[in-house]
Amino acid sequence: MTTTLSKTEIDNYWNDGYLFPKRVMSVETANALRIELEQLEADWLDNGLTLPLNTYKRINAQMVMPIAHEIGVMDSILDVVEGVLGPDIMLYSTELLIKEARTKNVVTMHQDLTYWGMGEIDGLTTAWLALSPATRESGCMDFVQASHKNPILPHEDSFDDHNLLSRGQEIKVDVSPEDRVAVELEPGEISLHHGLTIHGSGPNVSNDRRIGVVLRYLTPKIKKTGGERDYAHLARGADTDGNWQPYLVPQTPFAEENLAVYTAARTLQTSVMMSGAKKSGAFYDKADK
């Protein structure tokens, strides 16, 4: 499948701070991935993992779940990403952002780069792949057009139980309903968004799970400020700068050696992500999300 972006699509990304929908696989392939993922969830829900299964799904799933790494390095997705980041691409994280049917979990409006210790950069983009229909009813994302032209704006932490974000952070800006662009996607389609684009999503009031595979990509030039080198996998091209440590690519789910790297990355990222937070503790440790 050819998914290279046209000049117009690339211009749209930089003007709007997002681009969608872009088909990167057939509906059949997306359905097959969903079945594989759901089998893995069934196999591992109660299988003696140290942390709740949802924690591994929520962040850095690419380090411990082969399917999450394999989706992150799919050529059809990297072709799209190359249009905005260029030929050298690192996979930083795969997050399986699943909202179960008829549940209240939301993602408040925020800018991704707020707590990531990377500054206000253009060299990070997120590809959000739908493995089930992402609709207004199922709690698809909303984007605010051209909001990536802002710096990082003030955010407030709520630590709300129904918020899927690490600190329940919400941007301190009123976003009116007319300024929200609903990112409806069919299985096998992706959206792309810039790290400063204001976005969020509502609850899933539908009768199906909303399954998003959230892929974070960086150029190798990006460097985290301070601290130890974080982990990222060279997905395409060359690592020109050595700012990131490679992680061991998982061959089987939750292998001991992969879990060790997962724990190291979690410790390192928690210290950056939770810096200055009023509540302490590791992030994404709830069993129900």
Ligand X SMILES: O=C(O)CCC(=O)C(=O)O
Residues that bind ligand X (CB under 6 A): 97, 107, 112, 126, 128, 141, 199, 201, 212, 214
Beta-carbon contacts of 76 under 8 Å, excluding residues fewer than 6 positions away, are 1, 3, 24, 25
What CA–CA distance (Å, rounded) separates 255 from 117? 29
- What is the closest distance, in whole angstroms, from the C-beta atom of residue 108 to ligand X in the complex? 9
User: What is the H or E stretch that residue 56 is in?
Assistant: helix 53-58
What CA–CA distance (Å, rounded) separates 148 from 193? 9
Nearer to ligand X, 5 or 214 (CB): 214
Question: Which residue of the chain is nearest ligand X when measured via CB?
Answer: 201
Beta-carbon contacts of 124 under 8 Å, excluding residues fewer than 6 positions away, are 92, 112, 113, 118, 194, 195, 216, 217, 218, 219, 222
- What is the closest distance, in whole angstroms, from the C-beta atom of residue 17 to ligand X in the complex? 12
Distance of CA 133 to the CA centre of its chain: 17
- What is the closest distance, in whole angstroms, from the C-beta atom of residue 58 to ligand X in the complex? 11
Nearer to ligand X, 64 or 215 (CB): 215
Query: Roughly how many angstroms between the first and final C-alpha of the chain, as a whole number?
Result: 34
Nearer to ligand X, 230 or 254 (CB): 230
- What is the closest distance, in whole angstroms, from the C-beta atom of residue 7 to ligand X in the complex? 25
- What is the closest distance, in whole angstroms, from the C-beta atom of residue 44 to ligand X in the complex? 21
- What is the closest distance, in whole angstroms, from the C-beta atom of residue 86 to ligand X in the complex? 21
Nearer to ligand X, 37 or 254 (CB): 37
Nearer to ligand X, 93 or 258 (CB): 93
Alpha carbon dihedral 176, 58, 212, 90, in 10-degree steps, equals 100
Beta-carbon contacts of 70 under 8 Å, excluding residues fewer than 6 positions away, are none
- Write the single-letter amino acid at 289: K
Nearer to ligand X, 80 or 258 (CB): 80
